[in-house]
Structure 1
């Protein structure tokens, strides 16, 4: 097995060598599971990119570990899609990860509808802390980030040093376009969130996601009324 690169062994030269050595997205996925084996997981949002990655990952490791950060605030369509995905890929280890606070406990301690007043705090409790706990058991994680999703993601590499969680973050789809994603979904007859057909390119919690127009940043419908465009999972 190749040397397992951890966050603490990282340097700029290693990053350059790794990211110039891959031939394509499948090469990245194969490398990830060959090197990290059971010390890697995929944190899936079950958006369009996620369905592509789940299908690709299943071809490389049919028993891969996939986690969904269940805030208990997602659209019903998202939960329906997760159940469809579990039936389509029965050997994948798809787990629903819960926050340490129930919605009732969060309201009692921080006030009702925290997402309307302090969305960063809500994301921290319901997404960032649960993922941090999951990542404590692995050395690397996979994400569906694409460079053309937003300005904050334009410099994402295949393999990245994740300072936030002190892990290696692997992003096989960085060069894919939105059209590429949907071509793959249609050609392979993959299930997808029906909200995508209603102008929701990026789908998060129901309270914090609106439909958007066809032009501009695909994340404009997230946290409308706030400058916030990221939940914080992909920010150092």
Structure 2
């Protein structure tokens, strides 16, 4: 089947591929943080399709939906030559949190929710990024009010390395146009009105007209809806 993309998307795709090639060439070792969302599956396909020297990893928080684990397996089968490493939270930290605060304490306060994210996401992320020069994400500007000021290339002070957002200017429609054109595997929850997918107890379907991030931590205000993975980033000066 012939792959047909709009001229605008073709231009964005070419730019994204050029940036990824630059990351692989100039910032080795580099890794891609694959959350198995639609955007991240586009980047997984690009890295695998073009055999780019960028490692790929996922964070298994221990609370992911069954559909995410199914996609994890499908991804391994669809890209047999591309290895996706999986990082888990430290068992003793999870045990302490659950025993002291409760299995679903994250519903009780922002502090408790962020503590859970810190244990299940931030600490494993730090291990995944250790010794790396750069990391790549699938963040897009239109996803959230917390992401409108992001840059394509940023300095991640917390992790001490450069961060790249190659899909920053892509629209949701363009992400899905690529997925359909190249038959990229994706999470079945997307077909059930889950545009943004995280941990199962912190993710719900959204109604027509709601913001794409409305299903994440829906009990909190929009300006608080980040887990900390993408906080405190400063843009690099342009050369």
Whether these two folds match at TM > 0.5 is yes
- The answer as to whether partners of 1:28 and 1:158 remain within 8 angstroms in 2 is no
Q: CA deviation at 1:93?
A: 2.1
1:135 paired to 2:129: yes
- The answer as to whether partners of 1:58 and 1:64 remain within 8 angstroms in 2 is no
**From 118, 126, 129, the counterpart of 2:120:** 126
**From 53, 59, 83, the counterpart of 1:93:** 83
Unaligned segments of structure 2, at least 5 residues? 1-13, 233-239
**From 64, 69, 76, the counterpart of 2:66:** 76
Partner Cα distance (1:114, 1:67) in 2? 27
TM-score by length of 1: 0.85
- The answer as to whether partners of 2:24 and 2:53 remain within 8 angstroms in 1 is no
Distance 1:144 1:105, change over 3 A: same
**How large is the RMSD of aligned CA atoms in angstroms?**
1.6
SS in 2 for 1:121: helix
Partner Cα distance (1:30, 1:171) in 2? 13
1:1-236 matches, cutoff 5 A: 24-37=15-28, 39-61=29-51, 64-101=54-91, 103-117=94-108, 118-227=112-221, 228-236=224-232
- The answer as to whether partners of 1:48 and 1:181 remain within 8 angstroms in 2 is yes
Q: CA deviation at 1:109?
A: 4.0
Range with greater deviation from structure 2 (134-143 or 152-161): 152-161
Q: CA deviation at 1:132?
A: 1.1
Q: CA deviation at 1:59?
A: 2.8
- The answer as to whether partners of 2:24 and 2:52 remain within 8 angstroms in 1 is no
Q: CA deviation at 1:61?
A: 2.9
Range with greater deviation from structure 2 (154-163 or 103-112): 103-112
Range with greater deviation from structure 2 (59-68 or 210-219): 59-68
Q: CA deviation at 1:217?
A: 2.5
TM-score by length of 2: 0.84
Q: CA deviation at 1:91?
A: 1.6
